[in-house]
Amino acid sequence: GRPKNHIIFLILNIAYIMSKKEQNHKLRSASGRPYTNHENSKSAGRRGPLLLEDYILHEKLAHFNRERIPERVVHAKGSGAFGTFTVTQDVSKYSRAKFLNQIGKETKVFLRFSTVGGEKGSADSERDPRGFAVKFYTEDGNFDMVGNNTPVFFIKDPKKFPDFIHTQKRDPKTNLKSPTMMWDFWSLNPESLHQVLILFSDRGTPYGYRHMNGYGSHTFSMVNADNERVWVKFHFKTLQGIKNMTGAEADQMRAKDMDFSQRDLVEAIESGNFPKWRFMIQTMTDEQAQALPFNPFDLSKVWSHKDFPLQEVGILELNQIPRNYFATVEQSAFAPAHIVDGIGYSPDKMLQGRLLSYPDAHRYRLGANYEQIPVNRCPFAVKNYQRDGLMRVDGNGEEGPNYYPNSFDDIYEDASYTEPAEEIKDPVADFFDRNEGPGENDHFSQPAALFNEVMNDYDRHNLVANIVGAMQGIAGPKRETIINRQLCHFFRVDPKLGAAVAQGLEVDVEAVMASLKHE
């Protein structure tokens, strides 16, 4: 009798699995009701009208109407891929971060590249900084490095960010991009000059996303096992080599393939040609920071490689295109606030502003529980006392207590994660001249080093051509004022730069100087 029972049991089991499988293949409404007809609406008579009771029609149209979520207010157009970060060097003297604590250790990452100013459907080859946002799914929580392909930025106080971005978006009346707004803002904010020179070099139009560097840009910190802090800059150096488009090539690419960067990334990864970056850091002690002639927390400046050499940490490789773009790339949410033990913030005002801004943007764009979306989830279940809210899908703490302290659960705080204290001796004040003051108002030396020492004649030629091409678009009654104001900044970088741009714009510099003297 036993083998016979066994066979019957087996047959029943197979039949059960088959029926389940059939169930799973049925087309159903979201609540599970099988569809009888996916393509024809229920009508009164063959020729209609339709019935209100065709709930399935209703659900199909209603869900479709809700397919779009708000696009990111900046960095709306983007591409993403999963990959692996592998530690290659021992940096334990700087950081106790667990994902860095062993040569050969691998951590899963998700990287989203983007352009900044355009809408979600805009062209990939626009002249624009490129976003370079990496989420490390570490064993100690998620670490987001939300950087750009430039080591500096246009402004150094977060209060200027919405104004700056408005100038990169569309004119309120014409709904057109406006060189007048852009150059008006830049000329009134000379701290933008460094980033403007990078943006108008050919690095402003990189050849897709694989051939550019990524930079954390801000000064961050690292803390080691002895609770010692160093200041740090993050660099991701492309191992594909730097490759850019000229202004003319970028214009052609925009017309030929709006989605070139997306296509280039997908095709490379799908064909097994995995792009890689060398993750490197620069470090600075607090003593070195005090002695620096400029503010080391100023986002418009870099730290010289000669004084603060690059040190390798590991290799980042992208090796998997997500299986669904919306679920992953569109719903991904990065935040500079997301750090792990061993990595910390710094007093950089822009970074401080961004710590608040990003999670706020995510709560608006994706909802209060955005960290529960699979792409944003940390690799282990998170326990805390946050409860409820729209789209809570992780069990909401189940039946456990929803307050702290309590006598029932075993969740505890871990004081071993405490960061070393930071000393602040300065007065609390509104510093109105925030771009001035000791070590703050040199907006010209580093752009000059870039122009004279880093660029070659070919780079300088393209830089001037790109600037002239863009400034020719300045229009309206303030055209001359804006051009002259910006020319002054270029002259202060280097008279050759000022003269070349003036010549390209057919500005008579001598006449301008004479009129200034007259005033």
In the complex, what is the shortest distance from the CB of residue 454 to ligand NDP, in angstroms, rounded to a whole number?
Answer: 4
Q: Among 5, 58, 63, 75, which one carries the catalytic annotation?
A: 75
Among ligand NDP, ligand HEM, none, partner that 376 touches (CB below 5 to 8 angstroms by kind): none
In the complex, what is the shortest distance from the CB of residue 74 to ligand HEM, in angstroms, rounded to a whole number?
Answer: 5
**E strands along 380-506, which residues?**
none
Site for ligand NDP in 207-246 (CB under 6 A): 213, 237, 242
**Binding-site string for ligand NDP from residue 86 to residue 125, where x marks contact by CB under 6 A and - marks none:** ----------------------------------------
Instruction: Work out whether 114 is an interface residue with ligand HEM (CB under 6 A).
Output: yes
Instruction: Work out whether 131 is an interface residue with ligand HEM (CB under 6 A).
Output: yes
The answer to whether 387 and 372 have CB atoms below 8 angstroms apart is no
Among ligand HEM, ligand NDP, none, partner that 454 touches (CB below 5 to 8 angstroms by kind): ligand NDP
In the complex, what is the shortest distance from the CB of residue 422 to ligand HEM, in angstroms, rounded to a whole number?
Answer: 21
- Select from 322, 347, 353, 400 the one that contacts ligand HEM (CB under 6 A): 353
- Select from 72, 130, 203, 276 the one that contacts ligand NDP (CB under 6 A): 203
Q: Distance of CA 266 to CAs 81, 173, 241, 328, Å?
A: 8, 38, 18, 14
DSSP label of 329: I
Any catalytic annotation for residue 189?
no
The full 3-state SS of 184-203, as one line of letters, equals: HHHHHCHHHHHHHHHHHCHH
Instruction: Work out whether 77 is an interface residue with ligand HEM (CB under 6 A).
Output: no
In the complex, what is the shortest distance from the CB of residue 213 to ligand HEM, in angstroms, rounded to a whole number?
Answer: 12
Residue for token pair 């998997």: 320
The 10 Å Cβ neighbour count of residue 231 is 24
Among ligand NDP, ligand HEM, none, partner that 336 touches (CB below 5 to 8 angstroms by kind): none
* Cβ closest to ligand NDP, residue 140 vs residue 191: 191
Q: What are φ and ψ of residue 86, in 5° steps?
A: -120, 125
Residues binding ligand NDP: what is the number (CB under 6 A)? 18
The answer to whether 378 and 142 have CB atoms below 8 angstroms apart is yes
In the complex, what is the shortest distance from the CB of residue 39 to ligand HEM, in angstroms, rounded to a whole number?
Answer: 37
Q: Which residues of 415-432 are buried (b: 16+ CB within 10 A; e: fewer)?
A: eeeeeeeeeeeeeeeeee
Q: Which residues of 474-508 are buried (b: 16+ CB within 10 A; e: fewer)?
A: beeeebeebbbbbbebbbbbbeebbbbbbeeeebe
Among ligand NDP, ligand HEM, none, partner that 450 touches (CB below 5 to 8 angstroms by kind): ligand NDP
* Cβ closest to ligand NDP, residue 57 vs residue 242: 242
Among ligand NDP, ligand HEM, none, partner that 151 touches (CB below 5 to 8 angstroms by kind): ligand NDP
What torsion do the CA atoms of 497, 501, 502, 503 make, to the nearest 10 degrees?
Answer: 110
* Cβ closest to ligand HEM, residue 56 vs residue 155: 155
Q: Among 142, 148, 244, 466, which one carries the catalytic annotation?
A: 148
Instruction: Work out whether 365 is an interface residue with ligand HEM (CB under 6 A).
Output: yes
Handedness of CA 182, 188, 191, 196 (dihedral sign): positive
* Cβ closest to ligand HEM, residue 87 vs residue 269: 269
Residue among 461, 476, 462, 474 at smallest CA distance from 506? 474
Among the candidate windows 120-128, 181-189, 198-206, 419-427, which touches ligand NDP by CB under 6 A? 198-206
Cα–Cα distance, 319 to 111 (Å, whole number)? 11
In the complex, what is the shortest distance from the CB of residue 234 to ligand NDP, in angstroms, rounded to a whole number?
Answer: 10
What torsion do the CA atoms of 342, 345, 346, 348 make, to the nearest 10 degrees?
Answer: 150
Site for ligand NDP in 305-344 (CB under 6 A): 305-306
The answer to whether 165 and 74 have CB atoms below 8 angstroms apart is yes
Any catalytic annotation for residue 75?
yes
Instruction: Work out whether 280 is an interface residue with ligand NDP (CB under 6 A).
Output: no
Residue among 232, 243, 234 at smallest CA distance from 206? 243
The structure tokens listed for 299 are 């986002």
β-sheet bridge partners, residue 145: 134
Specify the 3-state DSSP secondary structure of 302. Answer: coil
What torsion do the CA atoms of 292, 296, 302, 304 make, to the nearest 10 degrees?
Answer: 30
In the complex, what is the shortest distance from the CB of residue 365 to ligand HEM, in angstroms, rounded to a whole number?
Answer: 5
The answer to whether 385 is annotated as binding is: no
Instruction: Work out whether 301 is an interface residue with ligand HEM (CB under 6 A).
Output: no
Instruction: Work out whether 334 is an interface residue with ligand HEM (CB under 6 A).
Output: yes
Residue ranges of the binding site? 358
Which positions are catalytic? 75, 148
- Give residues in contact with ligand HEM (CB under 6 A): 72-75, 78, 112, 114, 131, 133, 146-148, 153, 158, 161, 217, 332-334, 350, 353-354, 357-358, 361-362, 365
Residue ranges of the binding site for heme? 358
